[in-house]
Amino acid sequence: MAFYSGSLSSCASLATLLTTQCVANGWALSGNWLSKGSSYIEVTSDTYNVALKGALDSTGSTSPTSQNRTICLLAGDWPVSYYLFINSSPDTVVLVVQYGTLFIQHLMFGDIVKIHPLAFTGGNFLSGSSSSSTAGSEGQNPIPGQTIPRIYGNVLRSIDDNTILTTNNDPFDIDVPQSIPFVPGFPFIGNYNTSCAIFHAEIDGDLWSYTTNITYTAVTNSTYFRCPNLTNAQTTLVPLNLQRSSSSGLYMYLGYVEHVRLVRVDNYNIGDILTLSPDQWMIFPWRCKNIAFRNGDSTSYWSTITLTQTNTGTLGFAVRYTP
C-alpha cells in the first residue's frame, strides 16, 4: 500500500503522477494503458480533464468503454492538492483532488471483492466525479445550457418512486449523477441517467454498466443514511456492497469495494484520519460538505450555482491509508 500527497498545477501533471506512481507500485504501462490483475485503464488528459477509460486488454483494443469518467478542473481551480492511494489485494487506486479549499473530486479504479471468484465474469470498475463523452471535451455538462461542469442540487431520491428522501432504505439516486459512484442519476433530466462509476459484469448479456443497474445494497444504504450515531457521535465505515438489478426485479449481490468506505462526514473535515487499529482511513466529502443540507441541497438544479447547490451534504467516503 502506498500514499502520495502534494500540489500540482495541470491536468497533465495529475495524469503523469497517476501513471508514474501506479507503475512504481506494480502496474504495467503500455502507451496510456495501465494494467494489473483484471483492470485495464487508460489515463489521458487535456486542458480541463484527467480522464479514465476501461477495456479488457492492455492495449485497449478489446471491449473499451464507450464513456470516460473524469476529474474536471477549470483555470481558476489551480493549483490543487492531491491525495493518491494505491492499495492491493485487491488492487484499488484512488486519486483525490482538493481545490477551492472546500471542493473534492476523485478518480478511482480497481477490482471489487466478488462473492465468489466464479460468481460472474468481471468485477473491475472505474469511477470519476465527472463524466465526459470524450477526453477532449470540457466534461459532460450536467445541465443543458450551462457551461460549468459542476454538479447541481444533489437531491437524493428514492429509486422506486422518485420521492425526495430524508432517511433512506433502498437504492437512491441523485438529480445529477456525479460525484458519488454507484448512485444512478435521476432520469428526470433526460440523458443524464448515468452513474459516475462504470462496472464490468458479464451477466445477462451486459458487459459494461454505465447506468442504474449497479447500486448499493439496502444494508449499505440504510446504514449510510442512519449515521452518525446520536448515542456516541461516531459514524460507521460502511462497505460499498454492490448489487445488480435483473429483469425479474430481483437484485444480485456481487461483492464489495475493499479499500473504500462510505462515511457521513458530519463530524469530519477533508483529510481527517480515522484509526481503527491496525487500519487508518482518510476521510473526504464526495464533492463539498454542507452540514445545513445533510443529504444534499433540494434547491432547484436550474438555479444559479451557489455553494449549497454544489454540495454533497455530509455524504463522504474514506480510503484505507498507509502513511
Partner 1 sequence: MAYITGTVTGSGINDAASGHKMLLAAFNTFVTTGLGSGQNWTIKRNAVATVVSTGTNIEYIWQAPGLSGAEQIFMGLKAYQDPTADYYNLEIGVFTGYVSGNSFENQAGSSPIVGATLWNQSIQYWFVADGQRGIIVAKFSDIYEMIYIGKYLPYATPSQYPYPVYAFGSLANIGLLTRYSADLWWSSSNTYLGISASTYNGSNYPTPYGYMILSGFKGTSISSFLRDPAGLWLMPDIYPYAGITQIRNTASLSSSSVGYYSLHSIVISDKSPNVYGEFSGLYYITGFNNAVENTIVISGITYICFRDRRLTGFNDFIALRLS
Q: Which residues bind partner 1 (CB under 8 A)?
A: 115-116, 118-120, 160, 167, 169-171, 202-205, 217-219, 222-223, 226-232, 234, 236, 241, 243, 246-255
171 or 296: CB nearest partner 1: 171
We find the least distance from the C-beta atom of residue 310 to partner 1, in angstroms, to be: 25
C-alpha–C-alpha distance, residues 152 and 306, integer Å: 9
Q: How far is the CB of 294 from partner 1 (least distance, A)?
A: 10
Q: Going edge to edge, which strands form the sheet with 39-45?
A: 28-30, 33-36, 39-45, 49-54, 68-72, 130-132
Contacts for 145 with CB less than 8 Å, ≥ 6 apart: none
Q: Which is nearer to partner 1, 280 or 299 (CB)?
A: 280
The least CB distance from residue 322 to partner 1, in Å, is 23
Q: Which is nearer to partner 1, 101 or 163 (CB)?
A: 163
Regarding beta strands 251-264 and 238-245, do their DSSP bridges make them parallel or antiparallel, or are they unpaired?
antiparallel
Backbone angles phi, psi at 315, to 5 degrees: -80, 125
What DSSP character marks residue 63?
S
Of 86, 54, 79, which Cα lies nearest the Cα of 68?
54
- Minimal distance in Å, beta carbon 53 to partner 1? 26
Dihedral (C-alpha) 46, 270, 113, 20: value to the nearest 10 degrees?
40
Per-residue CA distances from 161 to 54, 188, 244 (Å): 32, 12, 19
Task: In angstroms, give the least distance from the CB of 321 to partner 1.
Answer: 20
Q: Would you state the cell numbers that stand for residue 1, as one nine-digit string?
A: 500500500
Q: Give 69 or 261: the residue with its C-beta nearer to partner 1.
A: 261
Q: CA dihedral in degrees (54, 58, 61, 62; nearest 10)? A: -70
Minimum separation from the CB atom of position 262 to partner 1 (A): 12
- State the minimum distance, in angstroms, from the CB of residue 173 to partner 1: 14
Which cell goes with 323?
502513511
Residue number with CB closer to partner 1 (57 or 160): 160
Q: How far is the CB of 192 from partner 1 (least distance, A)?
A: 24
Q: How far is Cα 39 from Cα 28, in angstroms, rounded to an integer?
A: 11
Q: What are the residue ranges of helices labelled H in the chain?
A: 11-24, 218-225
Q: Which is nearer to partner 1, 29 or 115 (CB)?
A: 115
Distance CA 67, CA 235 (A): 34
Residue 39 is placed in which grid cell?
Answer: 483492470
Q: Which one, 1 or 115, has the nearer CB to partner 1?
A: 115
Q: Which is nearer to partner 1, 9 or 234 (CB)?
A: 234
